[in-house]
A and B are shown apart, each in its own frame.
Chain A
Amino acid sequence: MSDAETRDVMIEVERVSKRFGDLVAVSDVSFRLGAGVTALLGPNGAGKSTMLRMLCGLAAPSEGTVRVLGHNPRHDIGLRRRIGLVPQQESLFEHMRLREFVRLAADLSGIPDPATATEQAIGTVGLDPGDKRRLNTYSKGMRQRAKLAYAIVCAPDVLFLDEPLTGLDPTQRNLMIDLFHRIGASGRCVLVSSHVLDEVQRLGTDVLVMGKGRLLAEGDFRRIRDLMDDRPSRFRIATDAPRALAAGLIAEGLAVGVEIHEPSALTVATASAGRFAAAIAPLARDRRASLRELRPLDADLESVFRYLVEGS
């Protein structure tokens, strides 16, 4: 039983599919989530956004059932006060100022003291409640934070975030990830979609992995990484001595395959990416090879998903 199953179930998805004509966007997906932060991981086109839309009630499943906090999000209007969504699209109500935008959500949600809630939500995301500029002047990162303020102003029990870290600088990303964890730690359910592996690692260990509309894996993130480690990782190395370096890698047992691209590069397949990364610089020094570039070829999430999809 996963961690999610041991907690109170806040989101319950049962055999859900979503079709748009002949296109199957989501196929027979089931999972349960409780409080805390869960990452919804998948490459572009995996069905993450469609899944989030169904969880919010913005789209109806073609088959299956979605329950959020025990209710049908498509039909239970009262539930919408307990749900927050940061949509993927950048667009906002461009003619409004930040405070007006967030206050609109507070007013429409019918929360007590909407003015204070508006100030707090804007402050929480690190923006200025007194900003007089209209939203159409905002940068991508500021737009992301404005959307987040809109979503959290009514203190939702369930928060859905669709690629919320896109466009944020590293400092802002850290702030946002800390915020997601704080919200999750307060007993709320936070589901964050992303196609960037590094982001997901920092969001926590609970993940749902989607690819081609299907749920490929769920549970602890480290298990997903283990799945990756079962396969050789490939690196491209630019160097002035590719043959010498290749010989050294094989001799040290760091490579299970080497392909030399004369005169100045090689591709290495290694069973242990961590050991390889630690050893490559000393090895290059010993072999008098200068390293000009070391680039992972399949550490990106697209490759991981290719593996998962091919194996499914």
Chain B
Amino acid sequence: MSHAVLVFRFMLHKLLRGWGRIVVLVVLAALAIVIAVVLRNSAEATLPEDGAAFLVWFGLSIILPFGALLIASEAFGDLRDERTLVYLWLRPMRAWSATAGAAGAALTVVVVLLVAPLIVAGLILDVDVAAGALLAAVAYAGVFLAFGMILSRPLLMGLLVLLVWENVIGSLSSATARLTIRSYAASLLVEPGWDVGTPVGRSFAASIAVPLAVGAAGVLLAAWGWRRAEVA
């Protein structure tokens, strides 16, 4: 069995044991579905446009990035905090194996706990959110995995990035929105002419390529951090 698979299994087991965080994410995901049902049955909501606005705001701007932060930063961040990273680091495996396995585990948890419920909410609201949510999950999981590996306070730094970068800077103009993951993911589920409260309009190719590139860059950054880590 390859090192990446071994780390994937180990991390998946570990991440699923973090009951507190899992419960928070399940509640948020359930809330998305409940609100989708309410919107669906509301006489005032215009579907699918209002549904897309809700999914971009609540799904792609709140629960997906914050959930990915909680899960992905925990993968290596907790090992560093608990000083157990040494048990993995000192085994004869390459950095990319460790980080790819951890990234896969974090992404799996995010997809199961958050992306899948968002897809259900999208089905209720007649919005195809699958591709956008999945690509956003890849990007956020990669970035926050790297945060957990290289930063001493990954949760705090991740919150700052989400609040300042993704929300404030991303909302300033269409030009600054190009710098956010959210705008690429949202572009995949918004039809021309819809107003979903956030600048969209990225090309289809860019909407696919940029989140994938950001996710891959995050995994590479985590691998760099693994190699350079001074392990306690």
> A residues engaging B (CB < 8 A)?
53, 56-60, 77-81, 83, 85, 87, 89, 91-96, 104-105, 107-110, 150
Going nearest first, the 6 A-B pairs with the smallest beta carbon separation are A108-B91, A58-B231, A80-B92, A81-B92, A95-B17, A89-B83
Asked if residues B91 and A80 are in contact (CB atoms below 8 Å), the reply is yes
Given contact pairs A58-B231, A59-B230, A107-B6, A91 touches B84 in the complex (Cβ within 8 A) = yes
Choice from B10, B17, B90 contacting A80 with Cβ under 8 Å? B90
Extra 19 A-B pairs, beta carbons < 8 Å, given A79-B92, A85-B86, A105-B91 = A53-B230, A53-B232, A58-B89, A58-B90, A58-B231, A59-B231, A77-B92, A77-B94, A80-B90, A81-B91, A87-B86, A91-B83, A92-B87, A93-B84, A95-B14, A95-B17, A105-B87, A108-B93, A109-B91
| Chain B, residue nearest A75 (CB) | B227
* Contact of B88 with A by CB under 8 A: yes
Choice from A85, A95, A110 contacting B90 with Cβ under 8 Å? A85
Chain B residues closer than 8 Å to A60, beta-carbon distance: 230
User: Within the assembled complex, what's the spacing in Å between the Cα atoms of A79 and B14?
Assistant: 27
Interface size class on chain B is 20 to 34
* Contact of B21 with A by CB under 8 A: no
User: Within the assembled complex, what's the spacing in Å between the Cα atoms of A107 and B101?
Assistant: 14
| Chain B, residue nearest A49 (CB) | B232
Given contact pairs A107-B1, A108-B88, A77 touches B13 in the complex (Cβ within 8 A) = no
Q: Least Cβ distance of B149 to chain A in Å?
A: 15
Instruction: Map CB proximity to A onto B14-52 as digits: 1 under 8 Å, 0 otherwise.
Output: 100100000000000000000000000000000000000
Given contact pairs A53-B231, A60-B230, A95-B13, A108 touches B92 in the complex (Cβ within 8 A) = yes
A-B contacts, 10 listed (Cβ < 8 Å): A53-B231, A58-B86, A77-B93, A77-B94, A79-B92, A91-B83, A96-B13, A105-B87, A108-B88, A110-B92
Chain A residues closer than 8 Å to B232, beta-carbon distance: 53, 58, 89
| Chain B, residue nearest A83 (CB) | B90
Give the interface centre of B1, B6, B83, B92 by most chain A CB atoms within 10 Å. Answer: B92
* Contact of B3 with A by CB under 8 A: yes
Chain A residues closer than 8 Å to B1, beta-carbon distance: 107
Asked if residues B3 and A108 are in contact (CB atoms below 8 Å), the reply is yes
| Chain B, residue nearest A134 (CB) | B17
| Chain A, residue nearest B86 (CB) | A87
Q: Least Cβ distance of A270 to chain B in Å?
A: 43
User: Within the assembled complex, what's the spacing in Å between the Cα atoms of A85 and B84?
Assistant: 12
User: Within the assembled complex, what's the spacing in Å between the Cα atoms of A109 and B87?
Assistant: 11
User: Within the assembled complex, what's the spacing in Å between the Cα atoms of A83 and B89?
Assistant: 12
Chain B residues closer than 8 Å to A78, beta-carbon distance: 92
| Chain A, residue nearest B82 (CB) | A91
Asked if residues B90 and A56 are in contact (CB atoms below 8 Å), the reply is yes
Give the interface centre of A81, A95, A150 by most chain B CB atoms within 10 Å. Answer: A95
Asked if residues B84 and A92 are in contact (CB atoms below 8 Å), the reply is yes
Chain B residues closer than 8 Å to A108, beta-carbon distance: 3, 6, 88, 91-93
User: Within the assembled complex, what's the spacing in Å between the Cα atoms of A107 and B92?
Assistant: 10
Chain B residues closer than 8 Å to A79, beta-carbon distance: 92
User: Within the assembled complex, what's the spacing in Å between the Cα atoms of A105 and B88?
Assistant: 8
Chain A residues closer than 8 Å to B13, beta-carbon distance: 95-96
Q: Least Cβ distance of A19 to chain B in Å?
A: 12
Instruction: Map CB proximity to A onto B76-120 as digits: 1 under 8 Å, 0 otherwise.
Output: 000000111011111111100000000000000000000000000
| Chain B, residue nearest A101 (CB) | B87
| Chain B, residue nearest A95 (CB) | B17
| Chain B, residue nearest A107 (CB) | B6
User: Within the assembled complex, what's the spacing in Å between the Cα atoms of A58 and B85?
Assistant: 10
| Chain A, residue nearest B13 (CB) | A95
Give the interface centre of A89, A94, A104, A108 by most chain B CB atoms within 10 Å. Answer: A108
Chain B residues closer than 8 Å to A93, beta-carbon distance: 10, 14, 84, 87
| Chain B, residue nearest A79 (CB) | B92
Chain A residues closer than 8 Å to B82, beta-carbon distance: 91, 94
Q: Least Cβ distance of A98 to chain B in Å?
A: 13
| Chain A, residue nearest B10 (CB) | A104
User: Within the assembled complex, what's the spacing in Å between the Cα atoms of A289 and B3?
Assistant: 70
Chain B residues closer than 8 Å to A89, beta-carbon distance: 83, 232
